A and B are shown apart, each in its own frame.
Chain A
Amino acid sequence: MAQPHQITAPSDAALIAAWQSGDERAAAELVGRHARPLARYLSGAGAPDAEVDDLVQETFIRAFRAVDRFRGQCQFRTWLLTIGGNVLKDYGRRAGRRKWMPLDESARDASGDPHERAVASEAEARLAAGVKTLPRLQREVFLLRAQQGLEYEEIAAALATTPGAARVHYHHAVRRLKEILT
């Protein structure tokens, strides 16, 4: 009896190599895999909702153009997120003193108990505001760890620091955010 044909998705590394050979479908596949986590990261780091689409696109364009410099020191997604951090920083410079719009409350999940939802929304909004006040490295480490679920070793490789330093940044960020939330 013939075995069912097992189709395994190509790895990010294989897609990167295909893109470097000019395969646009490989680039589109990479966008499909990583666009939403990148949007979450950018939004969590303070990107205005109206700008997230453009910032995601800019991050991918910058990443694909610089992909020759990606040496596999960390996962492609982690590398992409750090580029997103730079894109957001540049956006912040361009925006100058213009105040960023708060998160769009109407677009949040509307399921569950209304009271719990209101409490959660408030806490989330306070956390989002608190994350924006963190120093950049603390903010990036916090999001990579708490939001994206990455290990300290992976974070350290992406941010060119040590796992110990990443851990310290994370704990400083957590302490500060807890103060904001209580």
Chain B
Amino acid sequence: MNDAKNGDARLEALAKRLGASAAERLDVEATARKVLAGLREQPSSRRTWIEVHWLRIAAAIVLLIGGGIAVRRIVPVGSGTAQHSHLVADDLGDLSADELKDVLDQFDEIVGSASLMLDSTDLRELDAQQLRAVLRSLEG
């Protein structure tokens, strides 16, 4: 019983010494300066990641939907449900240079139309309802 207690006490005493030399060597003031410098300089990686990915997703949605609408306005693609499964890239690949230019003009018109003019032009600042409105307006 005493052996066990002595063993525990010895272990705890040793544990308290663990890392003591590393702590003594640490220059606390320099650490504080470096931490503050790091906080000032480094952008928050998580925030940056979210912003970049959100912008990519938003851009992809706008291109897919807007591109599809623009293509449909220039090149009628028949009726029925088949057109919904059409890939925008497939349509674009079949267009001539002049038709492609028309598509881009149409697309600019859609993206720049009054229906999209909200209080903010920054997609990141829109709430879910405003985003739905943007998507509805892109659907034509």
Q: Does B20 contact A (CB under 8 A)?
A: yes
A32 to B25, CA, bound (A): 14
Q: Report whether A107 and B34 are in contact in the complex, using a CB–CB cutoff of 8 Å.
A: no
Q: Does A165 contact B (CB under 8 A)?
A: no
Q: Report whether B17 and A107 are in contact in the complex, using a CB–CB cutoff of 8 Å.
A: no
Q: Report whether A147 and B15 are in contact in the complex, using a CB–CB cutoff of 8 Å.
A: yes
Q: Report whether A40 and B23 are in contact in the complex, using a CB–CB cutoff of 8 Å.
A: yes
Q: Which of A2-10, A42-50, A70-78, A154-162 contacts B (4 or more CB under 8 A)?
A: A42-50
Interface residues of A in 28-44 (CB under 8 A from B): 28, 31-32, 35-37, 39-44
Chain B residues near A178 (CB-CB < 8 A): 7, 11
Q: Report whether B22 and A52 are in contact in the complex, using a CB–CB cutoff of 8 Å.
A: yes
Of B8, B18, B32, B38, the residue contacting A35 (CB under 8 A) is B32
Against B, the Cβ 8 Å flags (1 = close, 0 = not) of A18-34 are: 00000010011001100
Q: Is the interface of A mostly helix, strand, loop or mixed?
A: helix
Q: Is the interface of B mostly helix, strand, loop or mixed?
A: helix
Interface residues of B in 15-39 (CB under 8 A from A): 15-29, 31-36, 38-39
Q: Select the residue from B17, B22, B36 with max chain A CB neighbours within 10 A.
A: B22
Using known A-B contacts A142-B15, A147-B16, A174-B8, determine if residue A40 contacts B22 with beta carbons closer than 8 Å: yes
Of B16, B25, B35, the residue contacting A61 (CB under 8 A) is B35
Using known A-B contacts A124-B14, A127-B11, determine if residue A64 contacts B32 with beta carbons closer than 8 Å: no
Q: Does B120 contact A (CB under 8 A)?
A: no
Q: Report whether B26 and A28 are in contact in the complex, using a CB–CB cutoff of 8 Å.
A: no
Chain A residues near B35 (CB-CB < 8 A): 27-28, 31, 57, 60-61, 64
A47 to B19, CA, bound (A): 9
Residue ID in chain B nearest A51 by CB atoms: B22
Using known A-B contacts A53-B31, A64-B35, determine if residue A143 contacts B15 with beta carbons closer than 8 Å: yes
Q: Select the residue from B19, B31, B34 with max chain A CB neighbours within 10 A.
A: B19
Of A42, A56, A64, A120, the residue contacting B31 (CB under 8 A) is A56
Q: Which residues of B contact A (CB under 8 A)?
A: 7-8, 10-12, 14-29, 31-36, 38-39, 42, 44
Q: Give 6 pairs: A residue, B residue, CB < 8 Å, sorted on A.
A: A40-B23, A49-B22, A103-B22, A104-B21, A124-B14, A147-B19
Q: Give me the 6 closest cross-chain CB pairs, A-B, nearest first.
A: A43-B19, A44-B18, A146-B15, A40-B19, A43-B22, A31-B32
